[in-house]
Structure 1
Amino acid sequence: MKPTFLLFLALLCATVSAQAQPFTQPAAATTAPEGTGLIAANAAVANGILTLSLKSKGGEFTAWTHVFIDVGPAAKPSYNHTSGKPAGNGLEILLEGSQAYRFNSDDPHVWSWTPLAGVTVERTVTGDTLTLKTALAPLGLPSGGTVKIFAATYTENYADTLDTIPRDTRSWTFTVPKYNAPLPGAKTTSAVTPLPARTDARTAFKKIQSYSCFYGPGRTTDLLTRDAAIIETRAQSVAEVNALRAAGRLAIGYISIGEDSELRTGDTKGPGGYDSAYFDRNADNLPDKNETWNSYFANAASPAWRAHFLARADEIIKSHGVDGFFLDTVETSLSYRDSFPAMVSLIRELRARHPAAVIVLNRGWDLLPDLGATPDGIMFESFTLSYDFAEKRYVTMRPSAWDHGLEVWQTLIHPAQKKHGLVALALDYAPAADSPEIALAYDRAATLGMIPCVTSIMLDAFYDIAYQGRTDARWLSPAETADTRIVTLDTERNGFPAGTRVTPSSNYADYTVAAVIDGVADKDSLGWRDRAWASTESRTEHSLEFTFPPVASATGVTIDWARDNGRAFPARAFRVEVRPAGPDATAWTRIAQVKDNTVGRSLITFDPATITALRIVQSVAGGASDRPNLMWVQQVSLVR
């Protein structure tokens, strides 16, 4: 029996086993991929464990499955499933992967869930059948009452619904056996208490040679093979954390410092009557949201957020006895620059509050000069390999990203390694432990003195990788050149003739200039790495140059500046120049000088002309007001 369940099983008094009548439905009329068409379901409770099973119409049962529970009409708030099925309305509990969640938004159409602390889900697939097991009591289901259950299968990464059960107007109901459930808000006493804190955790961390980053439950045997484990305490039991620490391993607890996974009302002084912790940069009276992870950007300068974050950090130490903190979402302070000093001070306050705890930053290397010896480590997430959420596939980062990583290491990370003994971790994502590109990730990490870890994008897998990284001097030199940055059009697009060469002055990490002439009207359908082009963020002129084969007739150019989170980032100061055809074809002629621009689309017109080239030049520090050293362009079209 998993230690996670011990706390709640102690609360159960003479629990009656219950078996629901199986729910069946015919196969869907439309053909669904194997393992996704739902034809039967069942629910049962025995010895305090709720067991749910789903059966598909042949094939290995899909990994992309959600199970929801409708606790009852009085339960609020509740979620309405996007499938529109009648049984998919009024849902409060979600079982996804190894975690259980409770819905937390006032809007039933918003995907916003809070993990249920201490609750884990055991997931087993046997051919065409999926079985889920979890402790009954912590779900908060009504003792002796009747609940409704709803399940759905999806395409990869839960993108689109493939099938549901129930599919029609019927309900899959289940009568909960009577049990002594803890009263709402009641505190319980665990039979397992955390081990005493280590006084040498920071010193021990500087000596690690390996680590894992795992947010699922259990896997203690695997985690013991690494010197340190970054874990999600809401998925790991105290006993499991104790097992790691008793063996001399370091357990470092995940905590988000720049985003809130739960949309809280808190002091009600923030946007839309929510907590004052949240940003509202676009002034829509709603907290700014990270759509990828369904979380909300939090302001490190907000007293409400600082109090909430520090209390959460205290609780992680108290409840699980972890050896330190892994601070995720530090880079919110870069997106919201005004909060940068507050983020620095918040991390320093955490250090003062927990002087013996290990502190590891996720990215956020721009803070290192201000933080000095405060952090013990930094993680470079997506150092070599990553995941494209828009295309739903694992990707190898582009050479521009490798060069950015090299520059970050040379200017920020390596100096802190030498001065403060900072431990550098590399975290990369791949579909399997035998993915061939893992060798590339390990080699780059070894060359730059980083400790590697490769895992799944949901951080719920443990890859046992035998490969040993090899140092290679080529990773100490730029991988991208001026020539490799050039993109040549193979067909007419955006008004530019086939054969047009597009030359950027530079590329920001993992960007390519191909985005500005891809002809895609709906840029929101693309991932960030394909949606726009960006220059390096440096205090210099930045430019895009279009060279024609050999000439083009034009009357203007349209520039769509990049958009991020619904907001445009137009260059405030820029000029447009052309090279007219003829004897002076090598000389640039300025046709427009723009200052104090604030519009997201700039149309520059000129008298009809035959030209050999056109370029857009952003002035030094002429970018958007809060990213002045970045040139960020979504699309460029030639008016002919």
Structure 2
Amino acid sequence: MTALANLFARLGPPWVQIACVAAVVLLLSAVCARPVFAAACARGAQSGVGTVALFYGEQVPVDQLSQFDTVVVEADSGFDPRAVSAMAVAQGGEKPRCTNWYAYVSVGEVTKDRDYMASMPKKWLIGRNSEWASAVIDQGAPGWPQFFVEHIIAPLWARGYRGFFLDTLDSWQLIAKTDAARARQQAGLVKTIRALKARYPDAQLILNRGFEVLPEIHGDVAAVAFESLYGNWDQGNQRYGAVPADDREWLLGQARTIRDRYRLPVISIDYCAPDDDACRREIAAKICAAGIEPYVTDGALRTVGVGADAACRARLDAAGQRN
């Protein structure tokens, strides 16, 4: 006690002593809290992205979606991943279940409602996707990778997103009709994804398809998704339907390659009418039986759908451990 008293006496007036004590307390709190926060979230899956959901509505139903390990949302909804994650830690007790919130990002196309479209050179927009009223972006355009990182990814990163669901990765197929044109688009797409990872090495990426570029960028990817293994949504005709057997077999072949060669989780996003819960559960079970992470929702992805249940989750985790 005498040594401690002498130490405080050497610090000077009482107000200086109080300031020093406060600084020490804050420093110790930060050091001690760091490992606690790092271990605060309990994940349901043994590996990979765990259970997955996608929701593109304006009002994100956090309570319902928080049952999933990974959730993709439309960032333009104003959703704040930092606030939601902080609340989960604050309310979750010793080991709260925390969701990884991914931002939806369109790489190959852009629509007029995106703020950054006005800043893009018009010569980069080299085609149209009439079903979605969007413009196809030239992936080989000089300056596009840098623009993508600075104007699309950087603002999302600043808002707290650390995961990105990269969509429209095969839109270049609408405009590239020769081998040379296809090679140019694929090379540009690889540069764009690598530019993202160079700027943000810790970014977690889920690709929607992108099969052609996986041999080059699979090491930068957390998982690969595709749509419609069993249940399809026809945007042009606004109707649901079954997937032809040939299309399904082709996708299953892609899934095997992704799992066996690249050791990545595979996700299938399928579609049923929003009021047909039986359809959702039936298709989710079929997807899981194929060894693929399921998520079945409506065509607009504006309702909370059906993902992997406990039995499916255990099966997929066990398969992941064997690979």
**What TM-score do you get using the length of structure 1 for normalisation?**
0.37
Confirm or deny: 8 A CA contact 2:136 2:172 kept in the other structure.
no
Confirm or deny: 8 A CA contact 1:215 1:459 kept in the other structure.
yes
Q: Say if 2:157 is the partner of 1:317.
A: yes
Confirm or deny: 8 A CA contact 2:258 2:266 kept in the other structure.
yes
Confirm or deny: 8 A CA contact 2:75 2:104 kept in the other structure.
yes
- Any idea what SS the aligned residue of 1:252 has? strand
Map of 2:215 onto structure 1: 369
Q: Distance in 2 between matches of 1:465 and 1:376?
A: 18
Residues 483-498 of structure 1 aligned to structure 2 (within 5 Å):
none
CA distance 1:438–1:470, shift in 2 (3 Å): farther
Q: Say if 2:255 is the partner of 1:413.
A: no
Deviation for aligned residue 1:218: 2.4
Letter in 1 for 2:56: Y
Map of 1:277 onto structure 2: 124
Larger radius of gyration: 1
Q: Distance in 1 between matches of 2:222 and 2:73?
A: 17
Residues 12-411 of structure 1 aligned to structure 2 (within 5 Å):
206-216=47-57, 217-238=59-80, 241-244=82-85, 247=88, 248-262=98-112, 264=117, 266=119, 268=121, 275-279=122-126, 288-311=127-150, 312-319=152-159, 321-335=160-174, 336=176, 337=182, 338-410=184-256
Deviation for aligned residue 1:413: 1.5
Q: Distance in 2 between matches of 1:208 and 1:407?
A: 21
What is the number of equivalent residue pairs in this alignment? 255
Deviation for aligned residue 1:314: 0.8
Deviation for aligned residue 1:245: 6.0
Moved more, 254-263 or 309-318: 254-263
Q: CA-to-partner distance for each residue in 1:540-567, whole Å, 9 max, x for gaps?
A: xxxxxxxxxxxxxxxxxxxxxxxxxxxx
CA distance 1:213–1:225, shift in 2 (3 Å): same
Confirm or deny: 8 A CA contact 1:380 1:427 kept in the other structure.
yes
Deviation for aligned residue 1:278: 1.5
CA distance 1:357–1:206, shift in 2 (3 Å): farther
CA distance 1:250–1:265, shift in 2 (3 Å): closer
Q: Distance in 1 between matches of 2:249 and 2:107?
A: 28
Residues 491-570 of structure 1 aligned to structure 2 (within 5 Å):
none
Deviation for aligned residue 1:450: 1.7
Letter in 2 for 1:278: L
Q: Distance in 2 between matches of 1:265 and 1:439?
A: 42
Confirm or deny: 8 A CA contact 1:205 1:250 kept in the other structure.
no
Letter in 2 for 1:302: A
Deviation for aligned residue 1:324: 1.1
Q: Distance in 2 between matches of 1:426 and 1:469?
A: 14
Map of 1:39 onto structure 2: none
CA distance 1:451–1:436, shift in 2 (3 Å): same
- Any idea what SS the aligned residue of 1:422 has? coil
Q: Distance in 1 between matches of 2:163 and 2:64?
A: 20
Which structure's residues are more often helix, by fraction? 2
Q: Distance in 2 between matches of 1:199 and 1:325?
A: 21
Residues 587-598 of structure 1 aligned to structure 2 (within 5 Å):
none
Confirm or deny: 8 A CA contact 1:433 1:463 kept in the other structure.
no
Deviation for aligned residue 1:265: 5.3
CA distance 1:388–1:292, shift in 2 (3 Å): same
Q: CA-to-partner distance for each residue in 1:417-458, whole Å, 9 max, x for gaps?
A: xx4x41211111111364433344223321332211111111
Q: Distance in 1 between matches of 2:313 and 2:220?
A: 31
Q: Distance in 2 between matches of 1:437 and 1:237?
A: 29
Confirm or deny: 8 A CA contact 1:430 1:438 kept in the other structure.
yes
Structure 1: gaps spanning 5 or more residues? 1-195, 269-274, 280-287, 472-640
Deviation for aligned residue 1:232: 0.9
Q: CA-to-partner distance for each residue in 1:18-62, whole Å, 9 max, x for gaps?
A: xxxxxxxxxxxxxxxxxxxxxxxxxxxxxxxxxxxxxxxxxxxxx
Map of 2:24 onto structure 1: none
Which structure's residues are more often strand, by fraction? 1
- Any idea what SS the aligned residue of 2:77 has? coil
Letter in 2 for 1:413: I
Confirm or deny: 8 A CA contact 2:295 2:306 kept in the other structure.
no
Letter in 1 for 2:221: P
Letter in 1 for 2:53: S
Q: Distance in 2 between matches of 1:234 and 1:470?
A: 30
CA distance 1:310–1:372, shift in 2 (3 Å): same
- Any idea what SS the aligned residue of 1:330 has? coil
Q: Distance in 2 between matches of 1:399 and 1:374?
A: 31
Superposition RMSD in Å: 3.1
Deviation for aligned residue 1:366: 2.1
Q: 1:459 aligns with which of 269, 280, 301?
A: 301
Higher RCO, 1 or 2 (CA under 8 Å, sep at least 6)?
2
